[in-house]
């Protein structure tokens, strides 16, 4: 089962991110945009896990979160990996709630390693991927659009949401794009 652990985003946030994508699409760059309905904040990508390990993952997820309180998460700056001069991955960061998402991701990393799921090679960064650049086509237009949009966003109050659960998703790859199905929801503690 191909799977990942994530924070599901509110409709308001998905709509907002879809509108950012629409503005960036005007650049004519060759970008594979994440469908707004599939946009999420990945805390831990598990990859292919065997069915017999799924129950262990579910239990580790519950144990990881049972004492963690709900928190507020607000969108932050727009960015790119590796950087805005050579964009490969276009993302939006987390302003408020960054510490909490990083702590949960780091704790999940440790819990999953104990049940045989390899750790990531790089440290966790709280971000939401909205697109992946496929080629250099109109890349200068994309960079200019990113610069303009980044400046505009810095003057706005961006949407946010309360995070009260973390979800284990199954991902099925199809020619029309991935299909995500929730497998397990683990609730955070209500204060």
Q: What is the largest CA-CA distance in the chain?
A: 49
In the DSSP assignment, the letter for residue 36 is: G
CA distance 147 to 151: 6
Mark out the alpha helices in 7-50 (DSSP H runs).
11-25
Q: Which of 14, 40, 44, 111 is catalytic?
A: 40
Residue whose pair of structure tokens reads 């507020």 in the numeric block: 72
Token pair belonging to 82: 């590796």
CA distance 53 to 74: 33
- 40 annotated active-site: yes
Q: Which of 46, 127, 167, 180 is catalytic?
A: 127
Q: What is the set of active-site residues?
A: 40, 127
């Amino acid at each position: 089962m191909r799977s990942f652990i994530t924070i599901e985003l509110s409709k308001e946030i998905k709509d907002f991110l879809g509108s950012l994508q629409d503005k960036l699409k005007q650049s004519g760059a060759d970008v594979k945009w994440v469908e707004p309905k599939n946009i999420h904040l990945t805390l831990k990508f598990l990859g292919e896990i065997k069915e017999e390990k799924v129950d262990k993952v579910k239990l580790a997820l519950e144990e990881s979160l049972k004492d963690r309180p709900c928190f507020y998460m607000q969108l932050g700056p727009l960015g790119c990996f590796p950087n805005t001069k050579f964009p490969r991955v276009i993302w939006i960061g987390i302003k408020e709630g960054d510490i909490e998402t990083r702590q949960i991701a780091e704790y999940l990393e440790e819990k999953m390693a104990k049940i045989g799921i390899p750790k990531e090679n790089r440290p966790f960064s709280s971000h939401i991927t909205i697109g992946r650049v496929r080629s250099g086509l109109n890349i200068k237009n994309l960079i200019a659009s990113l610069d303009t949009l980044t400046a505009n966003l810095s003057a706005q109050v961006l949407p946010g949401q309360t995070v009260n659960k973390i979800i284990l998703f199954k991902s099925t790859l199809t020619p029309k794009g991935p299909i995500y199905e929730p497998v397990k929801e683990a609730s955070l503690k209500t204060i």
